[in-house]
Amino acid sequence: MLLIDCPYCGERPEIEFSYGGEAHIARPENPGALSDKEWADFLFMRGNQKGAFRERWIHTQGCRRWFNVLRDTTSHEIYAVYKIGAPKPPAPGEKPVAAKKPAAKKPAALKKGAGK
Amino acid sequence: MAELDTRARDLRFSPLEAVSHRLVAASATDSVSATELPFTTQIGLRGDASDAAFVKAVKAAIGLAPPSEACTVAVKGDNRILWLGPDEWLVVAPDDVEGALLAKLEKGLAKLGAVAIDLTGNRTVIELSGPSARAVLEKGCYHDMHPRAFPVGRVVGTLIAHTQLFLERASDNPETFRLYVRSSFARHMAEWLMDAMAEFNESN
């Protein structure tokens, strides 16, 4: 039994959760424009990695919210739990995702010392 | 919804009414007792706790602000608000006030994109109390019942005996638990509880 750290409720037993497969698979913007192969790729093809894997879970019996888990598929070790839409935490041995560079030109009003 | 008239009140029965006498018999011990708290008013709330207007509207209607901290319960008099999710709560109040509460809530929430819905009758409440109540629940629940993980005034959605429920540890007594069980699962839960309680009943 895994203990999964629900980002809303805290650490809970695995039995309260349901699995939702691989995370971060975006639905194509325009499904009608895809070939059958591309559509099948979106529907059925998954990474099935050995090792660190980003997957979706839902706290079915608790707060009923979806979230993402970074779990090792061989050892079941959970490296990170993060909310839907939150930045991806790095997997072990992976470089942290660089924070987005600030826009080249900030609006004048937001500049430090503006208005002084 | 109009308030219940006397005739409807005479005709209705709670999910555990048929086994109430057996619950009483199973509770003939000092260590653990189970009773149904029938016909509580229950109202589901959805809204944004960071929206001051939403909190104010709920407070005006119920007398309580929806708790923003996860898994906590706000209590005032007979009214309680249980945290069920980051934008979801359950208002629990005495019998037969759902009409009045809903009217007040709907008036306050109408323009906020928040929702109040009557869930009275969806779940019945079983109150389990006594020094052995925790031991009884631990037989069928994976949630950690230790006070450090489950202090008083908390509510968790979890499973007991394969049945989904909200489990509340009463804010005034660490040995009292309230089980909010869906009506159709209430008989199963009561049978399971009576079986689990049997070993604590010295008269057996």
Q: What residue segments make up the domains of chain B, in order of their start? A: 16-39+122-204, 41-119
pLDDT tops 50 at residue A112: no
Please count the residues of chain B. 204
| Plot region of A69 (φ>0 → left; ψ -120 to 50 → alpha; else → beta) | beta
B70: nearest CA partner in chain A: A9
Is the CB of A63 less than 8 angstroms away from the CB of B86?
A: yes
Q: Region B85-96: what's the mean pLDDT?
A: 95
Reported as a pLDDT band with limits 50, 70 and 90, residue B29 is confident
Contacts of A25 (CB under 8 A, 6+ apart): A42, A46
- Give per-residue pLDDT as tens, B133-166: 999 999 999 999 999 999 999 999 999 999 999 9
The minimum CA-CA distance between B88 and chain A, rounded to whole Å, is 8
Q: What is the pTM of this model?
A: 0.88
Is the CB of A63 less than 8 angstroms away from the CB of B85?
A: yes
Q: Which residue has the tokens 């018999």?
A: B25
Determine the Cα–Cα distance for residues B131 and B30; give it in Å rounded to an integer. 8
Is the CB of B85 less than 8 angstroms away from the CB of A65?
A: yes
Determine the Cα–Cα distance for residues B145 and B162; give it in Å rounded to an integer. 17
**Using an 8 Å Cβ cutoff, are A45 and A37 in contact?**
no
Contacts of B146 in chain A (CB under 8 A): none
- The sign of the dihedral angle between the CA atoms of B30, B185, B146, A15 is positive
Determine the Cα–Cα distance for residues B125 and B193; give it in Å rounded to an integer. 13
pLDDT tops 50 at residue A116: no
The residues with which A68 forms a beta bridge, in sequence order, are: A56, A82
pLDDT tops 50 at residue A58: yes
- Provide, rounded to the nearest whole percent, the portion of chain A with pLDDT above 90: 74
Is the CB of A8 less than 8 angstroms away from the CB of B164?
A: no
Across the interface, which of B70, B86, B158 has its CB nearest the CB of A61? Answer: B158
CATH of the domain spanning A3-110: 3.30.2270.10
Q: Which of B34, B147, B150, B47 lies closest to B90, judged by CA?
A: B47
**Domain definitions of chain A by residue range:** 3-110
Q: Does domain B41-119 have CATH number 3.30.70.1520?
A: yes
pLDDT, residue B203, reads 67
**Using an 8 Å Cβ cutoff, are B176 and B170 in contact?**
yes
CATH of the domain spanning B16-39+122-204: 3.30.1360.120
Determine the Cα–Cα distance for residues B91 and B31; give it in Å rounded to an integer. 30
Question: According to DSSP H, which parts of B128-202 are helical?
Answer: 133-138, 183-197
Q: Region A26-35: what's the mean pLDDT?
A: 94
Determine the Cα–Cα distance for residues B66 and B15; give it in Å rounded to an integer. 28
The residues with which B36 forms a beta bridge, in sequence order, are: B126
Helix axis angle, B52-62 relative to B98-109, nearest 10°?
160
Q: Which residue has the higher pLDDT, A65 or B1?
A: A65
Q: Which residue has the tokens 């924070």?
A: A99
pLDDT tops 50 at residue B58: yes
**Using an 8 Å Cβ cutoff, are B99 and B92 in contact?**
no
Reported as a pLDDT band with limits 50, 70 and 90, residue A1 is confident
- Give per-residue pLDDT as tens, A74-109: 999 999 999 999 999 999 888 776 655 555 554 444
The minimum CA-CA distance between B173 and chain A, rounded to whole Å, is 22
Contacts of B108 (CB under 8 A, 6+ apart): B56, B57, B58, B60, B61
Residue B153 touches partner A, C-beta closer than 8 Å: no
Determine the Cα–Cα distance for residues B65 and B202; give it in Å rounded to an integer. 44
| Plot region of A113 (φ>0 → left; ψ -120 to 50 → alpha; else → beta) | left
